Amino acid sequence: MDKLTGFVGRVLYALPFLGFGLGHMMNAGQMGGMVPSYIPGGVFWIYFTGVAMILAALAIITGKQGRNACFGLAVMLLIFIVTIHLPGMSNPQMKMMAMMSFFKDTSLMGAALVIAGTFKK
């Protein structure tokens, strides 16, 4: 039963990243404004992170490179927190959304690290 619970938990964790990744691919133009102006590349990073999320979700579901995928997601989420959410809290119009995104990505990052620990080294 523990194997089934672990697998279901990994799938439930990975599915939103699959959706987020597909959303990045389908809405890259609209999301381009989320990339801070001090980071060169603009919409490239939307596509890059979209592909990274899709690949990470598939790796977590299949168990192939799942540990590395979780570590990669944790790093990516930390970058989102530092470059998007924390600076967004200084904007009064965006403060609440930035704070919610900060806590969401912090919890997803923590879960990625927990799930990374479930994979064999």
CA distances from 120 to 5, 48, 52, 68 (A): 16, 27, 22, 11
Residue 107 lies in a domain: yes
Residue 7 lies in a domain: yes
Residue 13 lies in a domain: yes
**Exposure b/e, 31-49, CB count within 10 A at least 16 = b:** beeebeeeeeeebebbbeb
Residue 72 lies in a domain: yes
pLDDT (tens digit per residue) in 62-104 = 999 999 999 999 999 999 999 999 998 998 898 999 999 999 9
Residue 121 lies in a domain: no
Structural domain boundaries, residue 50: 2-116
Residue with tokens 């967004």: 88
Residue 44 has pLDDT above 90, yes or no: yes
Residue 64 lies in a domain: yes
- Domains held by the chain: number: 1
Residue 36 lies in a domain: yes
Residue 89 lies in a domain: yes
Going by pLDDT thresholds of 50, 70 and 90, the confidence category of residue 1 is low
Q: Find the angle CA(91)-CA(97)-CA(99) to the nearest 5 degrees.
A: 85
